Amino acid sequence: MADQLQLYSYWRSSAAYRVRIGLNLKGLPYDTIPVHLVRDGGQQHTPEFREANPQGLVPVLKHGSRVMRQSLAILEYLDETWPSPALLPPLSRDRERVRSLALTIACDIHPLNNLRVLQYFENTWHVPQPEREDWVKYWVAEGFAAIEALLVDHPSTGRFCEGDTPSIADCCLVPQVYNARRFGVSMDAYPTIARIEAECLAMDEFDAARPERQPDAP
């Protein structure tokens, strides 16, 4: 498909990070349109960006005239539009496991340490930074304990979350580990997660998606 892909992204957004990984794994070129989530009160709040996403969240992917929102929906769109290499395994039971792992991260861990939640704590409730960081660490640890239990010794776990091919689950896991490290969460209790993260980051597609490698990184 010839229509150019444009990704509205913020270098440190873990949701945008997921989509960058997926685009790279598919070998799809795209233009990055930076949306700074902090500068100028947050560029995601501008009327121009709200036209693209009324939620005021990144990522947004434009494919020609089509506008897509929500990272997991975007990843599945990429997988359906460009089926190879696949981001979901062929068997339905394995696809369910991959989606379950991805949703555990995207729906149950990530929202509790999202920027807008932390900004609300700071600006409305005036929660001091140490307490905000404790909040993040607590919920990441709770979530990672569950993810580790779902991965360790599971017969479907291979080099990656599901077998020996990266999937949507890995697209979600690596950015969440990045967030965890940002907030000082030790990975010692999650050796399977840490091993899979290392396997992923050894691949060029994951490495190129790192926050510090993005054109809008400071």
Structure confidence at residue 212 (pLDDT): 98
Cβ pair 170, 161 in contact under 8 A:
yes
CATH of the domain at 40: 3.40.30.10
Taking the whole predicted model, whether its pTM rises above 0.75 is answered as: yes
Domain boundary among 33, 64, 85: 85
Nearest to 11 by CA among 29, 33, 28, 26: 33
Is there a single domain that holds both residue 97 and residue 58?
no
List average pLDDT for each run of 10 residues in the chain, which is 218 residues long.
86 98 98 97 96 97 97 98 98 98 98 96 97 98 98 98 98 98 97 98 98 97
Is there a single domain that holds both residue 159 and residue 135?
yes
Structure confidence at residue 3 (pLDDT): 83
Is there a single domain that holds both residue 17 and residue 70?
yes
Cβ pair 181, 133 in contact under 8 A:
no
Domain boundary among 62, 85, 108: 85
Is there a single domain that holds both residue 103 and residue 199?
yes
State which amino acid sits at residue 141: A
Any domain includes 162: yes
CATH of the domain at 189: 1.20.1050.10
Is there a single domain that holds both residue 102 and residue 197?
yes
Structure confidence at residue 1 (pLDDT): 45
Q: How many domains does the chain have?
A: 2
Structure confidence at residue 36 (pLDDT): 97
State which amino acid sits at residue 63: H
Distances (CA, A) of 50 to 2, 54, 60, 65: 26, 4, 11, 16
Separation CA 56–CA 52 (nearest Å): 8
Distances (CA, A) of 157 to 91, 97, 99, 162: 15, 10, 14, 5
Residue 136, domain extent = 92-206
Any domain includes 213: no
